[in-house]
Structures are given as C-alpha cells and as structure tokens.
Structure 1
C-alpha cells in the first residue's frame, strides 16, 4: 500500500470517525477534508474545489428552492387537510394515506422539508382522530426515506450516483428510471407499517419540544368559550362599513380579531384594523371577554350567522390565524397605557386577547387595565402580521412562537402557480433536450417571477450544509481512484462475493451500502460507494447500471437508525422513539427493500447484458 493511499485512507477514517461522534458538524468535516487532501498533494486545489462547479450541486440547490415554493404556497398543508377529511378516525386508512402522500411529495421535494411540514399535520391528525402520535410518525419517516427511490431528483444520493455515471462516461438514469424499484418498495413499506405500528410505543412526543402550542395558550390565558365565527349576511348593516366605524375593532366586550374572506383560491384571513372593510360573506372572528355576552342577540342585530368551530379559540384556523406571547420591556411606550388602545399594535393588525401578571391570567377588563413592566401579553392575528410585528416592533419583546408557526403559509393564493411550475420542471426533465440543471434553474426563476418564493426565502431554503458536505467528500473519489484504493476495495468485495452470482453481488453491494449509511449520511455514503461499485462493474466486465441503482436504493434505505438522516432525527424527537424502536421496525423494512432490489434489478438492468 503506497504512502498516498495510506494518507487517503487515514483522512477517510478520520472523516468517518468525526461523522460518528458528531463533532465537528458534517459540513465542517467536509471542509477539513478539502484542506487536508489539498495539502497532502494527492489532489490539486482545483480538483478539491471542482465540486462547487458540478451541475448536480446546482441542481440540488434548485430543488431545495422548488420544494420551498411548494411549502410556502400551502400545497403540503392542503394535502394535510385532505388527509384529515378522507382518513377520518380510521388508523389503517390514515397510515396508508399519509405514507402514500408523503412518498409522492417527497419524490419532487426535499424529504426533510416534507417531514418538517408533516410532523405538525400528523400530530393534529392524531389528536383529532384519537390515535397515538407514536403510531403515526414512524410511517412518515419511512415513507419520506422511500420517496428517495421514486424519482431521480427525489434525494441527493440519487444525483450523486447519477453524476458518477456521467463522470465515468456512461449515460445517466432518466427522471423515472428508479421508479420501477421505488413503487414496490413503497407498497411493501406501507404494508409493513400497517402491521409494525403496534410495536411503536414511544413517549408520544412528550419531550418533543419545549415550545408551547396554541392549545397550551388557550388554557394558560383562559380563552375557552371566548371565540365565535360569525358570517356576515348580504343584508347586514355591517356591509360596506369599516371596523373602526362600527367599533368592533376595540369594543370592550366583543371585538373582531381577524376577518376570514372567501376568494377563488379559498379562504384568506385579513387583519382586523380600524380601516378594514366588511363585505357580504365575510366571517368575523370574534373574541368575547364578557360571560354575559348574548351571541344570539348580537347576530340578530347585525344579521350574522354562527358558523361551526371544531377547535378551541380558532385553533382550527391555524393555517391563517396565529398567536404570539410577548412581554413589555422597561423602555416600552406601552407602560402605563392600555394595550388594546396601542397604536403600535393596531398598525400591525394584531389584537391583545390575554394578559398575565404575577403568574395569573387577567381574563376581564383588558380594555381598562394599564400595563406594567414585565406583563406578558397574548396577541392574535394573521400570521403575516404577527411575523411583521415580531421583526420590527420595539415596544414589545417576543417571548415565544407556537409550534404551529412552523406551518405558516405566506402565499397560499400561489398554490396553483407552484404546482404548474413543478409540473413544467418535471416535463422539461423528461425532455432530453433540456439538461436537468437548466430545468431546475428555470423552475426557480418562475417560482420567483410568480411570487411563490422570494430571494430571501430561496437562499434560506437551500440546505448549504448538505451542499458543502457533498462537495467536500467528492475529492475522496479522485484520491482513491488515483492511489488505487478503489480498485483494492472493489477487489475485496469481489473476493468475498465473487462466486455468489449476480444476485449475490447485488446483495453484497446493498448490505455494504446499508451498513455504511446507518452510521453516516446517505449523501456521504453515495459519494464513497459510487466509484467502488463502478470499479466492480468494470472488473467484472458487467453493466454499471444494476450496481449503481442498487447503491442508490440502499443509500435511501437507512430505516434502522435515528442518527443516519435528518428525516429520522426529526421524527425521533417528535415521536419520542428510542433507538431500539427504529431498529425493530426499520430492520425488516431494510431487508424487504434488499429482497425487492436483488429480485428486480437484474430483470430491469441485466448485470451481464448480451
């Protein structure tokens, strides 16, 4: 073994060790490896940094932005509402629907983003259906990981493997090239979770987050029974009036905190400012502070109709109506004044509905209560106004945002635009004349042009840590190839499994990839395994495609460990799962993926084509 190979293997071992202990961060490890390999002289500086100009890196960044467009326009939330409507309280039906939808969505956007969006949706589904969230969240992670096996762009390892094929002079996979494998594995995963969910006990997410929920605040500030949804009739005297003219914006007994208005794209929620006008069909979200308030008399007076509410204090409108807990600092102009009359809060379209002082809630006379330093206020209004207030207001300091704020949809009226753009991107990727990276960039530009994303949100959506990790690990392929390490690794696998036949070789590749992917990220696993399996194919004079496809599937089959992927880490925290639950449920799923892969790959991509 040459000195250069020893140095390369030592660097690789150090990188894997740092990945395992989690110190430093994975992207920092990648940067360290770029520097180390460059200083060693095994690769040049230009070769070490060449990954930053790789088209697949740009494509991955573009896919993050496209996924953000789907999230910001509320496509995922509408899917969640559909699941609640169709699934009801039938646990088996809910599991099938959730896994199918997560799998399909994860095939065109980041699986991590899909899981982050679906965790609050599934928790809400579990709460409304009476099913333990621990039995519902593990299927989400399994479907999200399996979604990486449905399309070429579904997950980063697929693109890494495809890039390695192209780099070695082979034709890459098509957009739906992996789908014939992914669909049977997704179906098998759904069938397995219908049985295996009984093993999931978890803690129900009791330790999932220290952040409060809207329901927590409803109880903390004694808001039960104070909310009404009242629809404005066409003959109502309120039609054409402003809230300020009617006095409903700051009435001490009953005041409007937001206005729900129907549009062609669905309902939207408007802030309740003094200048807000009232139109026929509007739904007034009314907060009532007095127990003696007679809603029937109020409705008769203003020609209003009571509309159903399924949640306490507008918690069934959490897509649009939000809350925030704020505190009055010493230098605030609110000290000594009444919060409800504050011009600072009114201009943001939020309303104070709760006040706590000395650890006790003041449930009445908020209109007459003068504020003191340290008072904690609960404000209600459209999410967009709450975020605006939080970022610019100096008279209050935001203490906490509820977990539901993560599901905020900034531009719900752009959902059809986002879906059309995503369909166009997929169509372009299916066209040989348009490179995938150009299709992704065109989609990003269209998302921005139609207002689905902003430049700031696009930059925030890109998972830079993943990109740096990929770029930092790519030089290992060059170093191992140049020093003969890849040939040695390929020969070792062939010595062990060379006599096992085509199916045995594919099984060995799958298991090796799976073992590595259980302890380090799937992306790093794909970067390390891609040159090895291509070298194996060359040694055997076999087709590279079955080995590359097996590696891609195995890199996404990290079902067994909560630390192997952000998807499992998110669900592990939210569901309160322990390692043994991942291993007990994930191991059979991984073996099932192995069996399906070994069975189908040689049929679709013959190992030794004639």
Structure 2
C-alpha cells in the first residue's frame, strides 16, 4: 500500500465521517475533497473537474426540469386524484395502486418529489377510510425507492453505474434494461407489504374524515383561525415606508403586520409581486397584510405608516387566490428549525414565504408568532406566491409538505399545457428506447420542448434543479479515478477475490450487494454507486466474466435503502406522517433488503448471463 493510496483512503474515511456526522453539507464535503485532490497532486485539474462535463450530471439536471414540468402542468396531482377515485374504499386495492403509481411516476421523475406529492393524498384517503396512515406510508416510501430500479434514468446511481461501464469502453445499459428487475422487485414489494401491513401501525386510531375531499383554502383559514386578520392597505404619498425594505422596517416586530404580498402598478394594471426581506416599497403599492396580533390598533398602524385601507373582498385574500396561496408543512425530527423562533430562522428570507399560523397539539396558536420557538410536531401554515409554494417539495431536510389545498389544481401555472408535457415526455422516452441519440440529448430535447410549449419557464427550470445532488456527484466522481490511479480498486478487488473469489460469481454478487447496501447506510446512494461501480467492474474483469450482472447488482443495491429512516430522503419523508420509530424501518426494511438481495443474486445472472 503506497503513500498516495493511504492519502486517498484517509480522504475517503474523512468524507464518510462528514457525511455521517452531517457537520458539513454533503455537497460542500464533495467540493472539499475535489480541492484536496488537486492540491495534493493526486489528480490533475482536468481529472478533478471531469465530473462537470460528465453526461450523467447533465442528464440528471435535465430530468429535474422534466419532472418540474409534470408538476407545473398538474399531471402529477391528477394521477394522485385518479388513484383515490379508482381505489374506492378498498385498502388492498389502494396499496397496490399506490405502489404501482409511485413506481411508475418515479421512473421518469425524482422519487423524493413523487413521494412528497403523494403524502397528502395518502393522508386524506387514510382518514376517509378510517385506517392508520402508517399502514400506507411505508409502502409509499418503499415504492419510491423501488421506482429507482425501473429505468435507466430513474435514479442517479443507475446513470453513475452506466457511465462507469462506458468509461471502461463497455456499451452501457438500455433505457428498459432495468425494468425486468424493477418490476419483479415491485411485485415482491407489493406482496411483502400486503403481508406485513398489519404491523406497520401501532396503537394509532384514525378517525373518519368528514369526506374524501382535499382540504380547501377555507378549511385552512378555519383551522388556523385566520378569519378577520387580513388587511389590504395602500401606501399613500409621503409614507415613511416608501424607499425602505421590509427587513429594515420590521413591521411584524413593531406592529404584528405580516406582509404576504404587494399589488403594484405595471403597464396600466395591477400585478401581484412576491415579497422578501429585501423588497423595497413604492408609492401606490397595495400591501396584503396578515394582522396576527388582535391587540394591535389597526388605525394607529395606518396613521403612523400613512396607509389607506382598501376594499377586501372574500375571506383572507380569497379574491387574490390566483396569486396568493396557502400550504401546510410539518417539521421533521432532523429539522434545523427546531428550537428556533421564526425571527431566528429568518424564515421569509430562506423560503420567500410567510408563516401565518402554527398549530400545536391540534390547536392553533394566537398572537404574535414571530418569537415562538418551534417544536417537533408543529404544523406551520405558509402563505405566499404559488410558484414558491410548489417548490416546498425540495426543502425536505427541514419540513414535510403535508398538503396543498384543492385550489392548487386551478392555480397550476401551466395546467392548460398538460397534453404538451405528456407529448414531451413521450418523445424523450421514445428517443431513449430507440437510441438514435444519446440519452442526455433526448432529455435536453424534452426540456426544450417543455419550454417551447410553455410547460415550464426558464426561472422555474433553473429552480427545479437540485444543485446539491449534482455537486455531490461532481465532487465524488474523482474518487473512483483516484482509487484506480493509486491502486485502491485493485487492492479492494484483490481482497474480495481472496475472500470469495473461489466460491463463484454468484457469491461475489451477494458480497457486492451486501457491501453496497451497508455502505449506503452511511453515505448517499449516489456516492455509494460512485465508489462501488469500479470495484464491481474490476471484480468481473478479474474473474473473466461479463461486467453487466455486477454493474446491475450495484445499481439495485444502491436503491435498496430500506433499512433505516435516514438511508434515503424518501424514508425521512414518510417517518413523521407514518408515526414510525427508527426500529420500525429496521424491523421491516432489513428482511426485505435480504429478500431483494436473494432475488437479485438468483435473477440478475439469468437476465444478464456471466
């Protein structure tokens, strides 16, 4: 073992430690590793930065945009509503259809986004059927993970493994090469969940809902006691607010006035403008304000700020519902917001939305909420621009989007373009299947078509891309090259060959699956695939057999993150709504992972002969 290899292994252990401890963001850790590789001379600058030009990175970014197009056109929500209608009152039918729908959608868009969309649907139908949500939440999460096994583009690990094959001069997988294994494991997962669903929920009594309908804006206004709090106030000439930013004015701290939005004159008509801490007020602006503190004298506020009350029709900005929306979120155990007040978190600055209500233990809190420390289990009602509300799915590290009101279907900014979104998606899949162009080109064509058909605009496209995931891949890809250059891959492959090499390729597959699944407990499945793919291909070459079953095994094992609630963001999403404990995932996930491993070792060599 040479000095360079020791240095690379130390960097690897350090990166794993930072991933596990979560003291530094994963994408920042990946960039630190990349920099250290260059500074130490382990890799040249072009080698270290090669990930930025990797086709897999561009493909993943393009797929984020395609997925956002499906959300903006309302297709994803329509699938959820159709699921509820077809399932009726049958829990078995609902579970089967739920897992099939999630796996199908997750095959072409982010599994985390799909699960986040379906959580409020499942909560609603569970209440209507009078069953604990825990009986459906884990099947929802497992289907999200299985969706990564359905197609080549379903999850980043698949594309990472495919890219590694190409880098070794081996033709990559086809679009549907993953589908037989994915469908088999989906059927296995459905049967497994039907068998164990009775033990998924403990002593949780679910009451009957008042109906099967989704929550509406009126429901949220009632539940959070918002009636009578809305004000529509015009800024008069000479007002001390003119020319100052929202942060500088401190209106919420001084008067309990929470600015939700601003109506501003543009080209002879009023338009709704989103507000943030740096928003600067202008003369003739009309402020939409939530007055949460009943003790504040609105007349004193208007007099001091030189504001003129305007007519407000409807209940709590309902006449502005095309621009101003509401959404309910719940804090998760790992949230960085816990124990902090809204003022300390600078919530509006982070997310561009205002917290207008907090429910704790089923009761809405009243008064000034800005200094109220947030607790686990709190539900927050957010108000603001619909486009920002739709982006809440991407903030799953701090809270879970519990539901969007039924009005969101009417507010989908590109709802009328749904047919074009499906057409763009169909063209992408067709190009990927027939293979006249590289997959990344097919995805980029779909992005351009969605833009041309106005399914998505440029701003939403850029915002839909989960940049930390891309940076993580870019920063971790040099590890594979560094391990190869320093002899690390040969060392690991040699160790595996010494341990199980003489026992045959199937035992090697089982060993690689177990090693990948265990590594995935500590670092992301994408980083796991980056590290394990070259080892698997090296083992296949050492044994003189086809690399395809080994590469497929790594891809399946990387997605088999069923064992703990922190193995995948998908598991973390369903943890709270399902009222699970850590041990529930161990109890249900470990046997299923072993089952998937056994099926994979038996089936993959049949689909991809040695």
Q: Check whether TM > 0.5.
A: yes
Which residue of the partner structure matches residue 222 of structure 2?
218
CA offset at residue 352 of structure 1? Answer: 9.8
In the TM superposition, 1:74-473 aligns within 5 A as 74-201=74-201, 215-221=219-225, 358=294, 373=301, 378-381=316-319, 383-386=321-324, 399=356, 400-401=381-382, 403-405=402-404, 408=408, 409-473=412-476
Q: Secondary structure at the match of 1:519?
A: coil
Q: How many Å separate the matches in 2 of 1:351 and 1:136?
A: 43
Taking structure 1 as reference, are residues 84 and 387 closer, same or farther at Cα in structure 2, changes over 3 Å only? closer
Instruction: Check whether the contact 1:83–1:97 (CA below 8 A) recurs between aligned residues.
Output: yes
Q: Secondary structure at the match of 1:378?
A: coil
Which residue of the partner structure matches residue 26 of structure 1?
26
Instruction: Check whether the contact 1:328–1:397 (CA below 8 A) recurs between aligned residues.
Output: no
Instruction: Check whether the contact 1:328–1:372 (CA below 8 A) recurs between aligned residues.
Output: no
Instruction: Check whether the contact 2:131–2:205 (CA below 8 A) recurs between aligned residues.
Output: no
Q: How many Å separate the matches in 2 of 1:468 and 1:370?
A: 49
Taking structure 1 as reference, are residues 143 and 406 closer, same or farther at Cα in structure 2, changes over 3 Å only? farther
CA-based RMSD: 3.6
Taking structure 1 as reference, are residues 16 and 150 closer, same or farther at Cα in structure 2, changes over 3 Å only? same
Q: How many Å separate the matches in 1 of 2:152 and 2:92?
A: 30
CA offset at residue 152 of structure 1? Answer: 0.2
Taking structure 1 as reference, are residues 503 and 69 closer, same or farther at Cα in structure 2, changes over 3 Å only? same
Which residue of the partner structure matches residue 210 of structure 2?
none
Deviations 1:543-566 (A, max 9, x none): 100000000000000011111211
Instruction: Check whether the contact 2:73–2:414 (CA below 8 A) recurs between aligned residues.
Output: yes
Q: How many Å separate the matches in 2 of 1:460 and 1:562?
A: 27
Which residue of the partner structure matches residue 519 of structure 2?
516
Q: Secondary structure at the match of 1:18?
A: helix
Q: How many Å separate the matches in 2 of 1:515 and 1:397?
A: 41
Taking structure 1 as reference, are residues 170 and 382 closer, same or farther at Cα in structure 2, changes over 3 Å only? farther
Q: How many Å separate the matches in 2 of 1:140 and 1:437?
A: 29
Instruction: Check whether the contact 1:221–1:356 (CA below 8 A) recurs between aligned residues.
Output: no
- Residue range with higher mean Cα deviation, 568-577 or 594-603: 568-577
Instruction: Check whether the contact 1:122–1:137 (CA below 8 A) recurs between aligned residues.
Output: yes
Q: How many Å separate the matches in 2 of 1:542 and 1:46?
A: 32
Taking structure 1 as reference, are residues 185 and 124 closer, same or farther at Cα in structure 2, changes over 3 Å only? same
Deviations 1:207-244 (A, max 9, x none): xxxxx996453244398xxxxxxxxxxxxxxxxxxxxx
Q: Secondary structure at the match of 2:35?
A: helix
Q: How many Å separate the matches in 1 of 2:137 and 2:181?
A: 24
Taking structure 1 as reference, are residues 447 and 382 closer, same or farther at Cα in structure 2, changes over 3 Å only? farther
Instruction: Check whether the contact 2:424–2:446 (CA below 8 A) recurs between aligned residues.
Output: yes
In the TM superposition, 1:47-58 aligns within 5 A as 47-58=47-58
Which residue of the partner structure matches residue 545 of structure 1?
548
CA offset at residue 511 of structure 1? Answer: 0.7
Instruction: Check whether the contact 1:530–1:548 (CA below 8 A) recurs between aligned residues.
Output: yes
Instruction: Check whether the contact 2:103–2:144 (CA below 8 A) recurs between aligned residues.
Output: yes
Q: How many Å separate the matches in 2 of 1:110 and 1:17?
A: 27
Larger radius of gyration, structure 1 or 2?
Answer: 1
CA offset at residue 96 of structure 1? Answer: 0.7
Taking structure 1 as reference, are residues 359 and 589 closer, same or farther at Cα in structure 2, changes over 3 Å only? farther
CA offset at residue 141 of structure 1? Answer: 0.9
Q: How many Å separate the matches in 2 of 1:443 and 1:98?
A: 27
5+ residue gaps, structure 1: 207-211, 224-326, 361-368
Taking structure 1 as reference, are residues 356 and 40 closer, same or farther at Cα in structure 2, changes over 3 Å only? closer
Q: How many Å separate the matches in 2 of 1:68 and 1:95?
A: 26
Instruction: Check whether the contact 2:132–2:205 (CA below 8 A) recurs between aligned residues.
Output: no
CA offset at residue 568 of structure 1? Answer: 1.2
Q: How many Å separate the matches in 2 of 1:457 and 1:220?
A: 30
Q: How many Å separate the matches in 2 of 1:222 and 1:478?
A: 57
Deviations 1:323-363 (A, max 9, x none): xxxx986999x99xxx9xx9999976999999866389xxx
Which residue of the partner structure matches residue 554 of structure 1?
557
Which residue of the partner structure matches residue 300 of structure 1?
none
Q: How many Å separate the matches in 1 of 2:431 and 2:9?
A: 41
Q: How many Å separate the matches in 1 of 2:288 and 2:571?
A: 39
Of residues 591, 595, 607, the one that matches 1:592 is: 595
Taking structure 1 as reference, are residues 13 and 121 closer, same or farther at Cα in structure 2, changes over 3 Å only? same
CA offset at residue 502 of structure 1? Answer: 2.4
CA offset at residue 387 of structure 1? Answer: 5.2
